[in-house]
Amino acid sequence: MTITCDLLLKKYSQAWRDATVHPFLTQCQLGTIYPKQFNTWLVQDYLFVIEFTRFVARVLANAPIHHFDILLGGLNALKDELIWFKAKAEERQLDLLAEPQLTCSQYCEYLELSTSMPYVVQVTTLWAIELAYNQGWQLPGTMPEPYAEFAHRWGNQDFTEYVKLLERLADEALSTANETIQAQVESSFLKIASLEQDFWSMAMTAI
Ligand code: HMH
């Protein structure tokens, strides 16, 4: 049987829940997150998104031509996102030249490593990374300011649609993947789930 994105979510539902339902997000929704925790997340996520942009560019470089349109749309959104991160950091007077924390570096190293894997692994990994934020920021429900803007960035309808399009690309690539490669996809999915969970926890420990 061929694995699909939907089957990955079902098979590893607990790991996925741990990646997308986290005290960090619950406390944003309650308005009880400490500014230091939130700011740590913001700076580290900016550093992550820089490396993530390189990752998406590499996925694009490996993609079949009929996947270009969607991936280029994703890169275009990242252009805006990097500018937005800078504006948010400036508002809060945060230093974006901070050192990446270990968890952030480990995630970025994994992104780099995954670009030497088959395209189907890369595109499924990309889908999982985007879905993690789409669901993570959406699931808690309406957030108070100043967090509503952040929840909207990844929880909005256009982003949800983009993630669905990525799922289609991944499912298409998965439909012809052999068993060895499917196993690689599964382990990459689990790796992303655990890195996502660690990323939230990293921000929480900054008190
Ligand atoms: C850690 N995962 C992390 N940061 C992000 N910005 C995304 C996913 C979504 O782009």
Closest protein CA for atom 10 of ligand 1: 130
Closest protein CA for atom 9 of ligand 1: 130
Q: Is the pLDDT of residue 14 over 70?
A: yes
Tens digit of each residue's pLDDT (9 = 90 or more) over 65-90: 999 999 999 999 999 999 999 999 99
Provide the percentage of residues in the chain whose pLDDT is more than 90: 97
Q: 41: CA distance to ligand 1 center in Å?
A: 10
Pocket of ligand 1 (CB under 6 A): 45, 48-49, 52, 129-130, 132-133, 196, 199
Atom of ligand 1 nearest to the CA of 132: 8
Closest protein CA for atom 8 of ligand 1: 129
User: What are the structural domains of the chain?
Assistant: 5-204 (1.20.910.10)
The DSSP string of 71-105 is HHHHHHHHHHHHHHHHHHHHHTT--TTPPPPHHHH
Task: Kindly report the pTM of this predicted structure.
Answer: 0.97
Confidence of residue 207 (pLDDT cuts 50, 70, 90): low
| 199, 200, 202: residue to mutate for ligand 1 pocket, most atoms within 8 A of CB | 199
What pLDDT was estimated at residue 206?
73
Mean residue pLDDT across the chain? 97
Tens digit of each residue's pLDDT (9 = 90 or more) over 37-70: 999 999 999 999 999 999 999 999 999 999 999 9
Query: Widest CA span of the chain, in angstroms?
Result: 52
Residue 167 corresponds to which amino acid?
Answer: E
Tens digit of each residue's pLDDT (9 = 90 or more) over 134-170: 999 999 989 999 999 999 999 999 999 999 999 999 9
What pLDDT was estimated at residue 63?
98
Q: 173: CA distance to ligand 1 center in Å?
A: 23
